[in-house]
Amino acid sequence: MVDKWTGASTASRFKHQVFYALIKIGGRRLAYILLYFVVAFYTLVPKFRKTASPYIDKMFMPKNFFEKFRHCYKLFLTFGKTLVDRAAFGISGEIEILSSKEDKDLVKTLHAKNKGLIIITAHAGAWASAMSSFDFVDGKKYVLYKRNDKDVDKQAHEHGRTKQTVNFIDPTSYGGGSFEILSALEKKGIVCVMGDREFGSPRNKIETPFLGANIALPSSIYRIAAASGAPILVIFFPFMGAGKLSSVVADNFYVEDKGPKISAYKPEAARFALAFEKFVKQYPYQYFNFYDIWRKDDKNFS
């Protein structure tokens, strides 16, 4: 079992290069053809299936091996497609982000309050492409993002075709990125964080139910929202097919300043978890969680 998420790529740099070459030659659909075989291989290997097992067990409660195998294949395939799409976006610059007028208006209204904006999302759907393009709202953008040294998969802008439109803040840097986040919000910036994976201080965790059992979620962003007065938007980016993703505002709220005690922000973390659970139930093959977030020991819980 994978103890903890690391961010390291499963495939080698060469294998990624093969996909990039196919995209350049025949577009994303040619890369998809290879992807079906690659995903079949990964699904056949028990150690890779095990990485998805905790989520598949909780989400689908499969009755037998074959059912579990099928869910695993579909999950890996959707994940692969989102990665191909991110690369295709980086190489060709083509991507279509669908958002409702209502959601766009809401984002604009909240951003116009001049308190900055905090977008909380998760490792689900086409989040990687969305983070790379991030043009669904105007303003200077920042993404709290830790890149593993063994992550060889390129971000979209690293393909050289698209501009880097976001500034990255390292959550494992000195101060956990807090200086940069608060400064960005002070300047009315838009800060995007992952609400489903904790980083930094071991105290930066709040237990909350998710798919029937408790998980540990990061908490400091709610403290930052409270102190800065910035509104929180919970947005997910479901993959809608080749070259298409959607941005869906699942929730929005302000956080009351309840002081420095991190446990005081449990209701807000639970609110995110609830919105996320609703999302994964609607798009069950779009939560790319490959370690046991429910494992209740010092790996995940304080």
Instruction: Assess contact for 121 and 217: CB atoms under 8 A.
Output: no
d(CA 210, CA 217): 10
Closest to other proteins by CB, 36 or 179: 179
Shortest Å, Cβ 169 to other proteins? 9
Residue 57's Cβ-side half-sphere holds a number of Cα atoms within 13 Å equal to: 12
Q: Are strands 244-253 and 239-241 parallel, antiparallel or unpaired?
A: antiparallel
Tokens of 25: 């030659």
Tokens of 204: 């930066």
Residue 1: exposure state from Cβ atoms within 10 A (0-12, 13-18, ≥19) = exposed
Q: 295 in helix, strand or coil?
A: coil
Footprint of other proteins (CB under 8 A) = 173-180, 182-183, 186, 200-204, 220, 223-224, 227, 260-262
DSSP character at residue 287: B
Closest to other proteins by CB, 203 or 281: 203
Shortest Å, Cβ 121 to other proteins? 20
Instruction: Assess contact for 165 and 133: CB atoms under 8 A.
Output: yes
Shortest Å, Cβ 91 to other proteins? 32
Closest to other proteins by CB, 177 or 238: 177
Tokens of 123: 């490792």
Instruction: Assess contact for 107 and 137: CB atoms under 8 A.
Output: yes
Residues 6+ apart with CB under 8 A from 244: 95, 96, 98
Closest to other proteins by CB, 203 or 278: 203
Shortest Å, Cβ 187 to other proteins? 9
Closest to other proteins by CB, 80 or 231: 231
Closest to other proteins by CB, 37 or 174: 174
Closest to other proteins by CB, 135 or 257: 257
The DSSP bridge partners found for residue 217 are 206
